[in-house]
Structure 1
């Protein structure tokens, strides 16, 4: 997938010489959690609203606050899941994009990436969602894929949805069929526990509803 078209430049990054007050004023105008800071075209880091809002010295150049600048970023070679993971890890709604020379190019915005994820076959294709579990360390994604595909069924997507305190890992998978009896039997032969079919389908419906709501909200 070509992500270049999703790179935003709706606002200019903060120059390293900008004062703390100028950054505070920018946060009042633009409702983001972080802003990129650059020195020339070179990316210096991300400054967070919660880190700067209570600073008393409003005249300090933001570039001198290196201890507050966060270094997370991405490049052109990325994908939806990696971006969503980075958004979650950094608790942010903006991911800066830099090139091989560490120059700032633009940013990905959380809402747009979520909307893009909602358009993937994992959510849009008809099929069934299964939630299964097995002892951590005794399963593998390749084994699950082999079990599913041995029944001539395609996997639309799968991910680890929970690491439980009882030593089991839950895996959510989406398959392109509603005839799942043979698949369930095969999974049980390999000691996978079926936790839910209906809840998984409900999850997909909820995600689709949120996607529709987000789409309407963005069109306002």
Structure 2
């Protein structure tokens, strides 16, 4: 499971000579808020869509912008787990992939990284996984844990990722120690939380639900 195997070819790199109007058009087309920037085959960072919106000038060159996360990359032969680690360290949904000569090859998204783990892990897990969507200012793990504990459940681990379709929202993934989530789901919804998905424990060890549960336990998050 080396990083280069999961390069997302739908996400193109920008050049320093490109204009912000082009960057924004690409972002809207593929529904993403960041794009990699490459200068003569060298990864130089990520450009953020919010910055472009704030500038409000489609003629501005990418070279005139302040780029982010120039260190957000891994070598192509590193394990996909390193992509997740670097993504988390830089709070970025994209990680650039370089060959051993530091030549840019492409990017891997955090979603693709997680999917790769979910497809490969098949060890028996305990508990279930629930994914919530909310605004960042609504996030309180203490409050959510209190609600879950009121239904005799416990949050074993949690993980936050940005929603690629809505930059104002986050996705909160919870590992809960209960094999069945019906009552917890109903209580969270009663308190106004939106549940995107849930993966309940089943007996078959190769199920998708258990693979995702094992992913979170493996990452210790």
For residues 125 and 40 of structure 2, the distance between their equivalents in structure 1, rounded to whole angstroms, comes to 50
Q: Residue 102 of structure 1: CA displacement?
A: 2.7
Q: Residue 63 of structure 1: CA displacement?
A: 1.9
Which structure 1 residue ranges, 5 or more long, are not aligned?
A: 130-169, 173-197, 212-220
From the superposition, tell whether residues 127 and 98 of structure 1 become closer, same or farther in structure 2 (CA, over 3 Å): closer
Q: Residue 99 of structure 1: CA displacement?
A: 2.1
SS in 1 for 2:54: coil
Structure number with higher relative contact order (C-alpha < 8 Å, ≥ 6 residues apart): 2
From the superposition, tell whether residues 51 and 5 of structure 1 become closer, same or farther in structure 2 (CA, over 3 Å): same
Matches within 5 A, 1:1-220: 1-65=1-65, 67-71=66-70, 72-121=72-121, 124-126=122-124, 128=126, 199=177, 205=200, 208=209
For residues 17 and 8 of structure 1, the distance between their equivalents in structure 2, rounded to whole angstroms, comes to 23
For residues 9 and 24 of structure 1, the distance between their equivalents in structure 2, rounded to whole angstroms, comes to 18
Q: Residue 32 of structure 1: CA displacement?
A: 1.5
SS in 2 for 1:18: coil
Please identify runs of 4+ aligned residues in structure 1 that moved more than 4 A.
200-204
Count of matched residue positions in the alignment of Structure 1 and Structure 2: 146
TM-score normalized with structure 1 length: 0.54
Matched-pair contact (CA < 8 Å) for 2:73–2:95: yes
Partner in structure 2 of residue 180 of structure 1: none
For residues 199 and 171 of structure 1, the distance between their equivalents in structure 2, rounded to whole angstroms, comes to 6
TM-score normalized with structure 2 length: 0.54
Query: Which protein shows a greater Rg?
Result: 1
Matched-pair contact (CA < 8 Å) for 2:126–2:177: no
Report the RMSD for the aligned CA atoms in angstroms: 3.4
Q: Residue 82 of structure 1: CA displacement?
A: 2.6
Matched-pair contact (CA < 8 Å) for 2:2–2:79: no
Matched-pair contact (CA < 8 Å) for 1:51–1:68: no
SS in 2 for 1:45: strand
For residues 80 and 200 of structure 1, the distance between their equivalents in structure 2, rounded to whole angstroms, comes to 29
For residues 120 and 96 of structure 2, the distance between their equivalents in structure 1, rounded to whole angstroms, comes to 23
For residues 79 and 62 of structure 1, the distance between their equivalents in structure 2, rounded to whole angstroms, comes to 31
